Amino acid sequence: MDEYRVKADIVEVGRRMYNRQFVASNDGNISVRLPDDEILITPTGISKGYMTTEDIVKVDMTGKVISGSRKPSSEIKMHLAAYQNRSDVFSVCHAHPQKATAFAVARKVCKDIALPEVIFSIGSVALAGYATPSTQQLPDSIREIVKKADAILLANHGAMTVGKDVYDAYFKMETLEHFAGIILYARQLGGEQGLSHDEISELLRVRREVFGKSDLGYLGDGYCGGYEIDAAQKKDVDLQELIEMITIAIMDQLKTNTQ
């Protein structure tokens, strides 16, 4: 593998992410796993739209720097968690595309599969619970989920996609953002209409037989990957919903008593 060519591809994908406003300022990170299990990764503290091949850092599977004059991304552990848990993954992209990140901030994933292209390209979209960026919480939050999904919304943070190479991972990010935008528009028109179980099964057959991809991440019930929020966070969500329900009930009762 031509290492310089891989670095140039990372630089090009960073430029595309920046130009499409998937990242702002110094946000986002991109990595590629080489055949010898060394990792090329973008550095911390630099705009992804203005990198050069000299900026790319090489590390081993523990995150130790092998070569490069810059510090690797502060979220390198998230990338390593993907590689350590998926032998078929050779690239990771992390960004903050606005529409997909809106779903992540709302802590929601699309319910119904509504676009064939999402099945062909991604398979499913999962949601990871909130984790503080640049800490061990982040790789821990995706460690199990990445075994079943190629696209993950990171609660209140952004999105992560994985692929067989840097362009595959990046194009999944494009598809994720495109899908999020279509769903947002559809909901302004009354909501998306999901495909039937039979229609999805046929799309999965095409995914396997035409595109040569597995059914990785698909749950088999016509829905996307669903929520992956830990018990403590789930308790907080339930409590918040209960408080809101009680508040609405009290306000309704007060309105009734004053009429």
pLDDT band at 251 (very low <50, low <70, confident <90, very high): low
Structure confidence at residue 248 (pLDDT):
63
Instruction: Give the pLDDT of residue 228.
Output: 39
Confidence of residue 47 (pLDDT cuts 50, 70, 90): very high
Question: Residue 11: is its pLDDT beyond 80?
Answer: yes
Backbone angles phi, psi at 64, to 5 degrees: -75, 130
Which residues carry out catalysis? 75
Q: What is the CATH number of domain 3-228?
A: 3.40.225.10
Token look-up 């690797």 returns: 72
- Give residue 237's pLDDT band: very low, low, confident or very high (50, 70, 90): very low
Q: Show me where the domains of the chain are located.
A: 3-228, 230-259
Q: Is 72 helix (H, G, I), strand (E, B) or coil?
A: strand
**Side chain identity at residue 201, one-letter code:** S
Give mean pLDDT, residues 75-103.
Answer: 97
Q: Look at residues 206, 187, 197 and name the one whose alpha carbon lies nearest to residue 117.
A: 206
Q: What's the mean pLDDT in 193-222?
A: 76
Using CA atoms, how far apart are residues 164 and 26, in angstroms rounded to an integer? 25
Tell me, yes or no, if the pTM score tops 0.95: no
Residue 118 structure tokens: 């999402």
Torsion of CA 33, 149, 120, 12, to 10 degrees: -30
pLDDT of residue 221: 37
Q: Which of 10-14, 79-83, 138-142, 220-224 has the lowest mean pLDDT?
A: 220-224
Most confident of the following: 96-100, 125-129, 191-195, 221-225: 96-100
CA distances (Å), 232 to each of 21, 28, 71, 130, in order? 33, 28, 34, 11
pLDDT tops 70 at residue 245 = no
Backbone angles phi, psi at 21, to 5 degrees: 60, 35
What is the signed CA dihedral for 125, 127, 128, 134, rounded to 10 degrees? 70
Q: How many CA atoms lie within 13 A of 46 on its CB side?
A: 24
